[in-house]
C-alpha cells in the first residue's frame, strides 16, 4: 500500500468484497484509524480510532493524503460495478 511523508497505509487482507486499510502515523507509530467501505453511503470513508494519542490532530497535508486515497478507492470501486 502507498506511503507518504507523515502517514503509512497498510491494507488488511481477508475482506473479499471491499478493502480495509489501516492508517498509521509515522511520528507516533500509532494506528490513527481505518479506511473502509461504508454501506449506508456506498462510499469508502475514514473511521478515526478514538484515543490513539493524547489529542488527535490532523494537518491539511494529512487530510489531503487521506482524501486522495479515499478518492482513489472510490474511483476503483465505481469501475468494478
For residue 5, the SS3 value is coil
Reported confidence tier of residue 2, pLDDT bands at 50, 70, 90: low
Over the stretch 38-80, which tens digit does the pLDDT of each residue have?
Answer: 999 999 999 988 765 555 677 888 899 999 999 999 999 999 8
Tell me the C-alpha distance between 78 and 43, whole Å: 9
This prediction has a pTM of 0.83
| Amino acid 30: pLDDT | 84
The SS3 of residue 24 is strand
Amino acid at each position: 500500500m502507498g506511503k507518504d511523508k507523515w502517514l503509512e497505509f497498510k491494507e488488511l487482507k481477508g475482506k473479499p468484497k471491499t478493502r480495509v486499510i489501516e492508517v498509521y502515523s509515522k511520528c507516533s507509530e500509532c494506528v490513527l484509524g481505518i479506511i473502509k467501505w461504508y454501506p449506508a453511503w456506498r462510499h469508502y470513508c475514514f473511521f478515526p480510532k478514538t484515543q490513539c494519542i493524547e489529542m488527535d490532530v490532523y494537518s491539511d497535508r494529512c487530510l489531503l493524503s487521506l482524501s486522495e486515497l479515499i478518492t482513489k478507492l472510490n474511483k476503483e470501486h465505481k469501475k468494478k460495478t
